[in-house]
Amino acid sequence: MKPSPFDYHRPAGLGEALQTLAETGSHGKVLAGGQSLIPLLNMRLAAPGHLVDINGLTELATISADASGVRVGALARHAAVERAGSARAVQPLLAQALALVAHPVIRNRGTVVGSLVHADPSAEMPAVLALLGGSVRLARLGGERDVHARDFFVGPLESACLPGEMAVSAFFPALPERSGTAFCEVARRHGDYAVAGVAAAVTLDEDFRITAARVACVSVGPVPVVVDVTGVCGPRPPASVDWDEVARAVQDRIEPEDDIHATAGYRRHLTGVLVTRALRGAAQDAAQSTAHDAGEGRA
């Protein structure tokens, strides 16, 4: 099917984009990579009166990384963020998760910030932002605000971005020293949305004991479900953690539902398995970076 008609706006700068969004209000929608919006338009599940195409705003195609974290601009495509060496060095979870977002061809157009605003509970990027406690910067005519991940994801396909607002960037904080991350998921085929998926971050102390452990689960609730499992994991070395207990602690917190792809029970089971897999992977990653740091310290 084809989209229904809309008025097309192609602002030359951010100011003009915000002006148009202010004028069109709830009838206006931002068009970024189009990889979620255009399918909805083609199937006529959405029919906005005005589209504000931000693909000309190349000043928003930025990826900047420093010791505090990675800031990704609204026009940075998934593929560009995945490839950016500076982002990978500061926050490796971004590239780990992006490799699981759709297919490479979709990643050439889709944007990280668009994925956050779209707020699909099965999507990887919202889980990454939620796990790391990042934020999204929302601009409107005459002002801007930073919204923490915890308040940004409101419900399935619903974010805190209001009519008249545009997300201009997102910030993914770095983790403390001796930390590691992993993203594990199960999908029907590589590149499909996950039936269940878990992002994990683990921090170790100098004796390789877990001092912080968190997971964010996708496809098992209206928004990414973040669970802090530091209490059940630490302070112990990964080899002496009772992983079944950790999995149960997370399974108690999720609210999976039945759909055509999987039953709620199967999603709950998968989440338990993936929690263990992701946390152990993250702990191993942390141990490697700890050993690496120690090695550098001696040299």
Ligand X SMILES: Cc1cc2nc3c(=O)[nH]c(=O)nc-3n(C[C@H](O)[C@H](O)[C@H](O)COP(=O)(O)OP(=O)(O)OC[C@H]3O[C@@H](n4cnc5c(N)ncnc54)[C@H](O)[C@@H]3O)c2cc1C
Where along the sequence are the contacts to other proteins (CB under 8 A)?
A: 1-8, 10, 31, 34-35, 38-39, 41-43, 51, 53, 55, 79, 102-106, 108-109, 189-191
Tokens of 235: 């302070």
With CB under 5 to 8 Å by kind, the binding choice for 118 among ligand X, other proteins, none is ligand X
DSSP code string of 65-103 = EETTEEEEETT-BHHHHHH-HHHHHH-THHHHHHTTSS-
Residue 71 interacting with ligand X (CB under 6 A): no
Say if residues 50 and 7 touch (Cβ distance below 8 Å).
yes
Nearer to other proteins, 2 or 298 (CB): 2
Asked if 113 touches ligand X (CB under 6 A), the answer is yes
Window of 31-39, 226-234, 243-251, 286-294 that interacts with ligand X by CB under 6 A: 31-39
Buried b (16+ CB within 10 A) or exposed e, 76-107: bbbbbbbebeebbebbbbbbbbbebbbeeebb
For helices 243-251 and 264-298, angle between their N-to-C axes, nearest 10 degrees: 130
Residue 119 Cβ vs other proteins, minimum distance, rounded to whole Å: 18
32 binds, among ligand X, other proteins, none (CB under 5 to 8 A by kind): ligand X
3-state class of 260 per DSSP? coil
Task: Specify the residue, 104 or 235, whose C-beta has the smaller distance to ligand X.
Answer: 104
Min CB(280)–ligand X separation in Å: 23
Nearer to other proteins by C-beta: 108 or 289?
Answer: 108
Which of 20, 35, 96, 219 is in the footprint of ligand X by CB under 6 A? 35
Does 111 contact ligand X by CB under 6 A? Answer: yes
Nearer to other proteins, 41 or 147 (CB): 41
- Looking at the DSSP bridge assignments, the partners of residue 155 are 158
How many other C-beta atoms are found inside a 10 Å radius of the C-beta of residue 19? 15
Q: Which is nearer to ligand X, 101 or 186 (CB)?
A: 101
- State which residue has the least CB distance to ligand X: 110
HSE at residue 116, side-chain half, CA atoms within 13 A, is 34
